[in-house]
């Protein structure tokens, strides 16, 4: 009986996910299904109505929520402008001579946008994937999983991701030393992405279909001209983040991303005549409004999750036998899976790992245990149906969330297995 009571937090989370998946199955919509899961969680944890109200209110007015809403709104405006004005097609046309491999064409933009550490960035590369797949026999579900997976291949090796910064700080390591242990995760993600989504037996494409294409005169200039909004968005975000962190260390990094995206939208608007009516059309579209609603629902769920105490209860599951293994594998995986946010599993699990390593007097093994924690949490994150990039990608391509999720579950578990194997190399 005590064992069952000890596992109750996990049972509650499983019930919440079943409710969400049922809501999605019965076409309630992803946003409403996530919201339903939050209310079910509140009931299961006996959360008072006033606490539920304040958690939902605080989620909606929280600056992180507002930043993400602004980022995704600007991304959708930028991607919509590029798509509706034909500039996205012109970008692909200008790159055609350079990207002759159809597989390279499909992964190029998600991987490029992945260098920009913005929440929900997969919605940025989704229209690019659609353009890249023109003339190729690629289903919307294939586009969705390729866009989602390759958008995140850099996350364990790129020093601008907040989760990596927090992880290195908690381990008292320099960011570059920390990344030297986690960076093989990027190679693992690329190889797993190829094996599960791109290899010829999974995605049969004619590899020589673009071999006859040549780079036209002035090709590099045309790439720069047409791709300027994307260059402004990516380089501008890195620049503004750097400037703001130096001048105003306390300013959120999202401010830099918002400024860069705003400049990119203006750049695309000035480059294409008749952009004003396109912008007005985009902000009234159901897709635009449903994306904003989805973000609000995800953050309401996240705050209910924190307020009801179930994450802390999950973290305490690591307090029994084999505590360090639980803290470095099961806790980060579960929290990554249920929260769908990197900072959630890093913030909850890494202090446990560091504390247990110190208590056991095995400080020399901290890099190996920290790496295992990052791999496990990231695998849970990639397997999470609540990951904002996954939700936005499925929403953009209008694919069934459940069947698409099943396709990313196996490579995510494979990533976890590779992390465990790599741990035994390091330890």
Q: List b or e across 212-225, with b for residues whose CB sees 16 or more CB atoms inside 10 angstroms.
A: eeeeeeeeeebbee
> How far apart (Å, rounded) are the C-alpha atoms in residues 353 and 182?
16
Write down the pLDDT at residue 97: 65
Write down the pLDDT at residue 163: 80
DSSP states along 363-375 = GGGHHHHHHHHHH
Q: Which H, E and C letters describe 20-31, residue by residue? A: HHHHHHCCCCHH
pTM greater than 0.85: no
3-state secondary structure (DSSP) of residue 344: helix
Burial class of residue 406 (count of CB atoms within 10 Å of its CB; 0-12, 13-18, 19+)? exposed
Contact 148, 393 (CB under 8 A): yes
Q: How many CB atoms lie within 10 A of CB 238?
A: 16
Residues 6+ apart with CB under 8 A from 309: 45
3-state secondary structure (DSSP) of residue 133: coil
pLDDT in tens, 80-119: 787 788 777 677 677 766 777 788 888 988 888 787 666 6
Contact 310, 41 (CB under 8 A): yes
Contact 375, 106 (CB under 8 A): no
Q: How many CB atoms lie within 10 A of CB 266?
A: 14
Write down the pLDDT at residue 330: 84
Contact 19, 40 (CB under 8 A): yes
Contact 226, 196 (CB under 8 A): no
Q: Which among 92, 209, 193, 191 is positioned nearest to 148, based on CA atoms?
A: 193
Contact 248, 60 (CB under 8 A): no
Q: Which among 328, 229, 315, 311 is positioned nearest to 269, based on CA atoms?
A: 229
Write down the pLDDT at residue 321: 44
Q: Which residues of the chain have pLDDT under 50?
A: 209, 211-212, 320-321
Q: Tell me the C-alpha to C-alpha distance, in Å, between residue 244 and each of 68, 253, 269, 392.
A: 18, 8, 26, 28
Contact 388, 119 (CB under 8 A): yes
Write down the pLDDT at residue 423: 94
Q: What 8-state DSSP symbol labels residue 327?
A: I
Q: How many CB atoms lie within 10 A of CB 284?
A: 9
> How far apart (Å, rounded) are the C-alpha atoms in residues 372 and 418?
10
| Rg of the chain (C-alpha set) | 22
Write down the pLDDT at residue 193: 95
């Amino acid at each position: 009986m005590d064992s069952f009571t000890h596992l109750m937090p996990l049972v509650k989370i499983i019930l919440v996910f079943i409710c969400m998946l049922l809501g999605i199955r019965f076409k309630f919509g992803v946003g409403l299904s996530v919201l339903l899961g939050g209310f079910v969680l509140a009931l299961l944890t006996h959360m008072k109505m006033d606490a539920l109200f304040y958690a939902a209110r605080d989620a909606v007015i929280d600056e992180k929520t507002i930043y993400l809403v602004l980022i995704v709104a600007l991304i959708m405006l930028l991607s919509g402008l590029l798509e509706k004005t034909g500039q996205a097609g012109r970008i692909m046309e200008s790159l055609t001579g350079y990207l002759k491999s159809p597989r390279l064409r499909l992964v190029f933009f998600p991987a490029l946008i992945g260098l920009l550490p913005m929440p929900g960035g997969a919605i940025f590369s989704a229209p690019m994937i659609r353009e890249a797949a023109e003339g190729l026999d690629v289903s919307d579900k294939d586009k969705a999983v390729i866009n989602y997976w390759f958008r995140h291949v850099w996350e364990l090796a790129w020093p601008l991701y907040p989760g990596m910064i927090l992880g290195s700080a908690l381990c008292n390591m320099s960011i570059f030393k920390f990344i030297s242990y986690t960076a093989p995760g990027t190679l693992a993600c690329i190889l797993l992405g190829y094996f599960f989504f791109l290899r010829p037996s999974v995605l049969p494409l004619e590899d020589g279909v673009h071999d006859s294409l040549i780079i036209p005169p002035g090709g590099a200039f045309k790439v720069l001209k047409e791709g300027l909004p994307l260059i402004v968005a990516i380089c501008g975000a890195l620049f503004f983040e750097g400037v703001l962190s130096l001048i105003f260390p306390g300013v959120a990094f999202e401010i830099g991303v918002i400024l860069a995206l705003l400049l990119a939208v203006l750049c695309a608007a000035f480059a294409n005549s008749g952009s004003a009516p396109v912008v007005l059309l985009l902000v009234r579209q159901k897709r635009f409004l449903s994306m904003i609603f989805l973000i609000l629902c995800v953050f309401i769920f996240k705050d209910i999750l924190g307020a009801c105490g179930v994450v802390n209860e999950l973290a305490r599951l690591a307090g029994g036998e084999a505590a360090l293994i639980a803290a470095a594998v099961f806790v980060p995986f579960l929290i990554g899976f249920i929260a769908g946010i990197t900072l959630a599993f890093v913030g909850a699990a890494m202090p446990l790992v560091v504390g247990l390593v110190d208590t056991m007097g095995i400080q020399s093994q901290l890099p190996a245990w920290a790496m295992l924690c990052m791999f496990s949490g990231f695998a849970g994150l990639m397997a999470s149906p609540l990951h904002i990039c996954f939700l936005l990608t499925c929403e953009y391509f209008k694919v069934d969330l459940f069947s698409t999720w099943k396709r990313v579950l196996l490579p995510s578990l494979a990533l976890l297995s590779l992390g465990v194997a790599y741990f035994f190399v390091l330890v």
